Structure 1
């Protein structure tokens, strides 16, 4: 393993937590999972996005910052690799979609101050799935507040991630997760592990699962 800090990202329902958990077990690494269920504004946001977008995104950013700051301070001598199922910049990307311009400018000022203090991942693994597959996964995991997410919202998230990765030329392994089954198909998981044995230059690299 050539990396100390891996981050798994993707749209809602892409399988980030599943893959991060499997990889952490395989590599015996430290695992950092987003505590989205703790956000009291999430159900309210899906019912009334305009009213609750700002407190939702502010709460997420504060919680993610706390987790990442603790990560820096708690160095584990027995676990040199850390795997996270979210990118801190996710806060800014989602806020760009959900907030009106004036609120987003304020949010971005806060984000820029905080982001300077955090460690960035050595490699971003991005799971790309079509909207139809995302909706299938969302229905399957059956979180009540997610059941009415619109295709357009998922499409906006997809576009925002893609633009960010390309604009800043992030070192990214983009996995076509259209038919991914990391839990049930050993070949899919092994393909990811094999890919992580390689060293990548800055930019986008692509993996098609067998």
Structure 2
């Protein structure tokens, strides 16, 4: 495996964690999963976004930073590859969507200070699914606080993600995950594995699943 740090991203409900688990097993990789359940502001945020957006995003940024810094600085002689189900920059992307302008400017200053202390992933796998599919996935996993997420919010996040990826010319395996079933369909997972083995240049590389 030519990549030492692989990150998976996508909208809410895109299947990031499922794919991260599968890849970590296939590649014998260390696994870093976002610990979103520990954020006490998350259920409150979906009830009152205006009041709880700033503490929500600060908590996420602090937790993600600590987790990534601890994991990536601890070498494992038996596992040379690391797979994560989030990109640290998602802090900034979600904050951009959720915060008013003045709060976002303050948040961005804090983000810029700590972001430079982290290792950037070698490659990004982005799972792109239409909003109606995301809603089905969100309903299926049945986290109570997510059930009120509206379509407009998911559309905005989708646009924010894709705009960032294109603007920064990240080396990205861009997967059309409209019909993705990585657990049940081995061919879907194989598309990702083959893409990781390919000689990819910087920029976005688009793949569809059979």
Give the TM-score normalised by structure 1. 0.99
Q: Provide the aligned length of Structure 1 versus Structure 2.
A: 210
- The correspondence of residues 103-182 of structure 1 with structure 2, limited to 5 A, is 103-182=103-182
Deviations 1:55-107 (A, max 9, x none): 00000000000011102321111111000000000000000000000000000
1:181–1:188 Cα contact (<8 Å) kept: yes
- 1:127, distance to aligned residue in structure 2 (A): 0.1
Distance of 2:25 and 2:72 partners within structure 1: 21
* Structure 1: gaps (5+ residues): none
Runs ≥4 residues deviating over 4 A: none
1:197 corresponding residue in structure 2: 197
- 1:150, distance to aligned residue in structure 2 (A): 0.3
- 1:199, distance to aligned residue in structure 2 (A): 2.2
- 1:192, distance to aligned residue in structure 2 (A): 1.1
Give the TM-score normalised by structure 2. 0.99
Structure 1 range deviating more: 182-191 or 85-94: 182-191
2:47 corresponding residue in structure 1: 47
* Structure 2: gaps (5+ residues): none
